[in-house]
Amino acid sequence: MATKADLFRAAFYAWAHNSREIDSTAVLAHLNHGQRARLLEIREALNEVVETVDIHRQNGTYTRDRLKLHQTIISRILDVETLVRSTPRPGRRPIMMMLGGRGGSGKSWFRNRVYDEAFLVIDPDAVKAELPGYEGWNAFAFHEESSDIVEVLVRTAAALGLNVVLDVTMKSRAGALQKLSMFAGTHDIFIHYMFLPRIDAAVRASIRAAAPGGRYVPIEVILDNRDNEAVFDEARNEKSGWSFRDNLVSMGEHPKLISEYSKNTLDPQIRKPR
């Protein structure tokens, strides 16, 4: 049975389910020999990798050719079909959804459950994949540059009044609140959070990284995601609706709904604009 929205505190829930005394050794113990070997191989290879911003940015400004590439990527993501599809019907208020949760928590579950094709989806990992040289294991090198492109996409989507989904970890309070503020007053805002304890998120993300073409996020980075739920608690205040789910379930089971809220009488989990 879901907890009543006015009684629920995500930070308390996380405190009860997270061990504060964990490190990378505890995560590696859950992996097989081949997976551990692959992660070691990746870590060693990253010692030779240079971040793309150090190559293509001079005195804080991207080179002309790199800016041209950014515009090509942005135009590809914001193509005519997507713009038409994600523009609300006349008289409808646009919707902004923020999907929160650690890397490896399973936020992809929300697709076609809380949003559909009538939304522009802004996913930083998908943006990384648009940049030349990205291979998954070297995602770190593209992090800052992809964040700059995401910032342009978010501002553009807000200015155009599009229905938009933004995929974030909610690790950064300032980052999450700043992005939400861009849509305040113009959009109905919904936040959907997928919970997974730090160690479980790190294990799942590491297994994914060890697979062919897998995206690598350092174990230490995921374990440092300590306050995501506290950020969610603050971000969800005075929003049109929110939900909090726990994905620590058996293989094949749906995440467990822990609590939810909606200002209207419609199903708060399906806010489709059409």
Q: Report helix, strand and coil shares of the chain as percent, to nearest 5.
A: 45, 15, 40
* Beta bridge pairs of residue 100: 193
On whether the pTM is more than 0.85, the answer is: yes
- For the chain, the C-alpha Rg in angstroms (whole number) is 19
CATH architecture label of 5-262: 3-Layer(aba) Sandwich (3.40)
Higher pLDDT, 22 or 193: 193
State which H helix or E strand residue 52 sits in.
Answer: helix 52-56
186-242 confidence digits (pLDDT tens): 999 999 999 999 999 999 999 999 999 999 999 999 999 999 999 999 999 889 999
Share of the chain above pLDDT 90, in %: 88
33-82 residue pLDDT tens: 999 999 999 999 999 999 999 999 999 999 999 999 999 999 999 999 99
pLDDT class for 88, splitting at 50, 70, 90?
A: very high
Per-domain residue ranges of the chain: 5-262
Res. 271: pLDDT tops 80:
no
Model confidence at 268, pLDDT cuts 50, 70, 90, reads very low
What's the Cα-to-Cα distance from 222 to each of 188, 193, 249, rounded to whole Å? 30, 16, 19
- Distance between CA atoms of residues 196 and 202, nearest Å: 9
Residue 1's pLDDT band (boundaries 50, 70, 90)?
low
Pairing mode, strands 256-262 and 241-246 = antiparallel
Sign of CA dihedral 198, 200, 203, 204: negative
Contact indicator for 236, 242 with CB cutoff of 8 Å: yes
